[in-house]
Structure 1
């Protein structure tokens, strides 16, 4: 019999009925009706071509054919349980692989991971630079942080932000510092470098508020005017299997607010 055709549900019912020698007690264990247990056993007997139980004056008895298969059947269920535990080990581990743009990691993510690790001392992080969209499968990623107007093809949650802010230092020229492909007097690779260029007095830069908040709080740069809404923002994203993991859910909850 092919593995894909193994009547696993029926075999599970057989194990319970054999232990109790009662369809009623097996039904109680499996949270089904005694009639459903009987149907599963009859279907299994039809599939295997053997009789598994006989009713006698003393009650339900196993046939020799059923007795012959019980020990390897129960060994098989034990192996299934070991397989499930092995597959769940990665989910229960405290190691998280995260991909994010370099400037976001430096300006925003690292201090939040430090705070999270202080609350969860067993946690371990692997951080990757995600400038061109790292492949989840190839990099064995748990979570990525990406700029956009939504999660794209993955599950996702937006990181709260006030939008975009313009930053500079006192006395800086009106020179514009660009990082996102727009025309500017000075062009840099990312928003983090734009903030650093503004802090160095090279001009003014419009950047995501969440990236500039620490530099503003430290007095490295000053915010000019109010924050303005942005067409995009940073999203925590992952494919559905990773998104469902308890360790990923906990980190998303910690980072999204």
Structure 2
């Protein structure tokens, strides 16, 4: 059966404009000009023979014809993304590419991956140290990030959102600061670390006290390497396992997510 020619670029522009109800915001998302968005929409309307948007006193509005095909169109784009992921992955159902903070990998993730590997022989892990790596550029399956939530990704929280104040026995009476630390207002840090991992290493070396996510230091506290000086208390951020929807739907990803979350 001969397939109808689909103006895929114009349909992608239409999807963005429909989500934002703004040619300007759609242009920002697609890295083009608002005029280019308008041209694509007009060309698509001419191709389909219908009006997709109307301008009102309240702004841009979809017509009934414009609303009619949106759900199917978006499902189609998801299928395209899944197809690309499948082609990229090939037969690599036994390989996981995961981005995670070094310190969280060492303290929390590595033991759990070892257990998963023991239960499923032949698994290979490709580890990326930069947790904010781009999913497409790094060909990631999953990422672990210390964030408020998954935002526009699919995700699951791996551990309670709790923080504690810790220091090594007989550590200096000083504070270690890092971008995620909520230090007391009167704290004067002696070290300004760039990450939770650097703050943890500084605390373990006895250089001062700091505020860290509880999952990151539970082992060190249990072993007596760090002392609990305050908390646990609720934290805004937690370690989340995240991925775009096409990766999240993969059978192999579901299996690892279930293992890491006890599901």
What TM-score results when the alignment is normalised by the length of structure 2?
A: 0.61
- 1:174, distance to aligned residue in structure 2 (A): 2.2
Distance in 1 of aligned mates of 2:89 and 2:253: 14
Alignment map for 1:1-257 (pairs within 5 Å): 2-4=2-4, 90=90, 93-131=93-131, 133-161=132-160, 163-180=162-179, 184-257=189-262
**What's the CA shift string for 1:52-105, capped at 9, x where partnerless?**
xxxxxxxxxxxxxxxxxxxxxxxxxxxxxxx9xx85974771101001122222
Decide whether the 8 Å contact of 2:180 with 2:196 is kept in 1: no
Distance in 2 of aligned mates of 1:225 and 1:110: 27
| Bigger radius of gyration among the two | 1
SS of match in other structure, 2:200: helix
SS of match in other structure, 1:248: helix
Decide whether the 8 Å contact of 2:176 with 2:192 is kept in 1: yes
Change (3 A) 1:208 1:4: same
**What's the CA shift string for 1:28-56, capped at 9, x where partnerless?**
xxxxxxxxxxxxxxxxxxxxxxxxxxxxx
CA RMSD of superposed structures (Å)? 2.4
SS of match in other structure, 1:138: coil
**What's the CA shift string for 1:151-199, capped at 9, x where partnerless?**
0111111112251011112222220111216662211222122122112
Decide whether the 8 Å contact of 1:107 with 1:192 is kept in 2: no
Unaligned stretches of 5+ in structure 2? 6-82, 182-187
**What's the CA shift string for 1:88-134, capped at 9, x where partnerless?**
97477110100112222222222221121111112111000225x21
Decide whether the 8 Å contact of 1:167 with 1:222 is kept in 2: yes
Decide whether the 8 Å contact of 1:103 with 1:190 is kept in 2: no
**Structure 1 stretches of at least 4 aligned residues deviating more than 6 Å after TM superposition:** none
What TM-score results when the alignment is normalised by the length of structure 1?
A: 0.62
Distance in 1 of aligned mates of 2:260 and 2:178: 25
Decide whether the 8 Å contact of 1:100 with 1:129 is kept in 2: yes
Distance in 1 of aligned mates of 2:112 and 2:137: 26
Q: How many residues align?
A: 177
Decide whether the 8 Å contact of 2:146 with 2:237 is kept in 1: yes
